[in-house]
Chain A
Amino acid sequence: MVLIQKQKTRAFSIATITLPGSPKDLIPLLSFRDRVEHLLVRIGWRRRRYIVEPALYRIGSPMPDSPVIVTANYKLTVDTVRAACAGMDLWVLVLDTRGINVWCAAGKGTFGTDEIERMVRTSRLTDIVKHRRLILPQLGAPGVSAHRVKKITGFTVIYGPVRIADLRDFLAADMNATSDMRHVRFTLSDRISVTPIELVLSWQLFLAAALAGLGLWAIHAAPFPAAVVPLVGAVLMGAVVVPLALPLFPFRSFVLKGAAAGLLWALLMIALFPVDILTAARHLTLLPPVVAYLAFNFTGSTAFTSPSGVKAEIRWFTWPLLLWFAAGVILYFAELIRGWLG
């Protein structure tokens, strides 16, 4: 008897129960609802609470010799697996990573050796499959010690491709990954998929920029667009344009990428709106540090920035940026006062 699973926890139903205690079937096709949820999740809805129940699942009709793949219990991650594996026969071992994706959970260690051991044991995997191989996403490797997994569970860890979409080819090639399958590229489409959340997370800065611009306008220091566009646009530059156009800026440093973009933006604003020397100076001092800061924050969303590099940037640029920004704030208030005095 096939029933739609109803969870008492807040886990989402993605599976049907066959027999109590036996592996559940993952429904390979994503529903319209799944897709709507994915859009919402990408802009911050239910962040950290978009989860499925950690368990052993089935895709298709796996046999005791079918491959076992391991993944995280973030539903967006599981759904990617579901969609990519439609038509295949696999076991899917979903670990409890507290609803965090494989890469971030591996960094925290929740996608890790001990959790693999726990799930192998509680799912009674050794009774269900004949072989002793687990296929892990390569990006889970920072949390897992393959030789320790072997020692404590008896299962050999095989790191599969970085992208689940390559799994089919990987399996067809007797679990040999091409160099390309092992490589993280961070393409434009990767950057587009993380940009919405950057936008949402920088809402406070948007608000601050808009208020600062409205202040100038209210006090008749500038007409509406000339007051608001440079400031709000700078936040947009830092949160969206620099991330998308990342490789176009020739510097390695994210602060320098952002500062360059900010200077370009300031010059554009000076060219676009009639400004006097005070306003021009304010654009050149206030806008670039804001863009630089936001661009620097984007290091948290990339897949190639080392913590040593980020720390070096903090060492090099904190004071210059703060002083640069402080000059901009002083000029901003000078402009406010001038507008107020009339």
Chain B
Amino acid sequence: MRYIESVVTLNLDAEKCIGCGRCAEVCPHRVFTVTDRKAAMIDRGACMECGACQKNCPVDAITVKVGVGCAYALIRSRITGKEACCG
């Protein structure tokens, strides 16, 4: 199953990458592959913006806007003006 892909905020700065392989290890949607000690995004559209890759990249080569992917929380935050949070 896949979700809306055009709005995904994931970015990889391949220049910075040192090829440690963490991003491919942590991503639950097989977004990355690391070959010849360089990471590449092979399925960027599958990203659910969980932030695992960003948090575990030792050289900050990955950026992604992390947030709560839950409609109820986001709608509530729209109405109350408070930050979205699941429960």
The stretch that binds B, out of A6-14, A245-253, A272-280, is: A245-253
A300 & B1 in contact (Cβ 8 Å cutoff): no
Given known pairs A162-B28, A304-B1, the reply for A107 and B7 (CB within 8 Å) is no
Interface of B is mostly: loop
B73 & A300 in contact (Cβ 8 Å cutoff): yes
Chain B interface size range: 35 or more
B48 & A303 in contact (Cβ 8 Å cutoff): yes
For B40, list chain A residues within 8 Å (CB): none
A296 & B4 in contact (Cβ 8 Å cutoff): no
A306 & B1 in contact (Cβ 8 Å cutoff): no
Given known pairs A306-B7, A307-B68, the reply for A107 and B2 (CB within 8 Å) is no
A104 & B86 in contact (Cβ 8 Å cutoff): yes
For B3, list chain A residues within 8 Å (CB): 252, 304-306, 309
Instruction: Bits for B59-70, please: 1 = Cβ < 8 Å to A, else 0.
Output: 000000111111
For A300, list chain B residues within 8 Å (CB): 69-73, 86
Does B39 belong to the interface (CB within 8 Å)?
Answer: no
For B47, list chain A residues within 8 Å (CB): 306
CB distance from A305 to the nearest CB of B (A): 5
> Considering the chains assembled together, what is the distance between the CA atoms of A308 and B47 in angstroms?
10
For A162, list chain B residues within 8 Å (CB): 28
For B12, list chain A residues within 8 Å (CB): none
> Considering the chains assembled together, what is the distance between the CA atoms of A302 and B48 in angstroms?
10
A306 & B49 in contact (Cβ 8 Å cutoff): yes
For B51, list chain A residues within 8 Å (CB): 142
A142 & B86 in contact (Cβ 8 Å cutoff): no
CB distance from A151 to the nearest CB of B (A): 10
Does A332 belong to the interface (CB within 8 Å)?
Answer: no
Instruction: Bits for B1-34, please: 1 = Cβ < 8 Å to A, else 0.
Output: 1111101110000000000001001111110000
- Of residues A183, A253, A304, which shows the largest number of chain B Cβ atoms within 10 Å of its Cβ? A304
> Considering the chains assembled together, what is the distance between the CA atoms of A107 and B69 in angstroms?
10
Does A224 belong to the interface (CB within 8 Å)?
Answer: no
The stretch that binds B, out of A24-32, A54-62, A74-82, A311-319, is: A311-319
Does B41 belong to the interface (CB within 8 Å)?
Answer: no
A246 & B1 in contact (Cβ 8 Å cutoff): yes
Not counting A184-B29, A306-B47, A307-B67, a sample of 16 additional A-B residue pairs whose C-beta atoms are within 8 angstroms of each other reads A138-B25, A138-B26, A141-B26, A141-B50, A146-B56, A246-B1, A252-B2, A296-B71, A298-B71, A300-B73, A306-B8, A306-B9, A306-B69, A307-B69, A312-B4, A314-B78
